[in-house]
A and B are shown apart, each in its own frame.
Chain A
Amino acid sequence: GDQVEQSPSALSLHEGTGSALRCNFTTTMRAVQWFRKNSRGSLINLFYLASGTKENGRLKSAFDSKERYSTLHIRDAQLEDSGTYFCAAEPNSGTYQRFGTGTKLQVVP
């Protein structure tokens, strides 16, 4: 069955505000990767985490393997942050990533 549940499916933010995306896992994952798909369909790497948190500019991600979730926080959203965000996680057993269904983010003025 589906192992990665991503929410929300869509999100609208005003410029300058922030929010969080979340992925819940139905099994124990050993690592998670977050991506943004741009307007041309390319997947842009944001983070790869095996534990803890990472921060890059206005983005911050956390991964808790034991509690089976990962989050992506966006603060001070800008128009260019618009796009679809995906998480992808590697189960403890197996080597390949399972993708979430994506969150379509629209940042509006």
Chain B
Amino acid sequence: GPKVLQIPSHQIIDMGQMVTLNCDPVSNHLYFYWYKQILGQQMEFLVNFYNGKVMEKSKLFKDQFSVERPDGSYFTLKIQPTALEDSAVYFCASSLEGRDTQYFGPGTRLLVL
């Protein structure tokens, strides 16, 4: 089936540094999403993105977070600066339409020290 890729699979950084998580969505999809899952907790929505704009974001999407997809390349989540509580697995997803099956990537495991 359709595949979403995420790069890197793991990332360890020091608190205060910047990190960029990359997502390669399904090629013809138009809607993109980031989710966050802290170890032992539920998966939680961060943000969705369509036509170059953030459509909706949750309270977890702090001011230090930003997303973009320049010219159809990777859909990225940037955290600047990082904090200890940002340690989690971040999942990217994409869908063809807004109310449609979402396809998830394997996640990026981020550890902030």
Contacts and interface: CB of A to CB of B under 8 A. Distances in A.
Interface residues of A, number: 23
A19 B27 CA distance: 36
Contact of A40 (B44, B100, B106): B106
B75 interface: no
A45 B55 contact: no
A46 to B, nearest CB: 10
What is the interface residue range for chain B against chain A?
Answer: 20 to 34
B89 interface: yes
A88 B99 CA distance: 13
18 contacts: A31-B99, A33-B101, A35-B104, A42-B105, A45-B1, A45-B101, A45-B104, A48-B100, A48-B101, A88-B43, A88-B102, A95-B56, A95-B98, A95-B99, A96-B45, A97-B45, A97-B102, A99-B42
Interface of A: 30-31, 33, 35, 40-43, 45, 48, 50, 86, 88, 90, 94-102
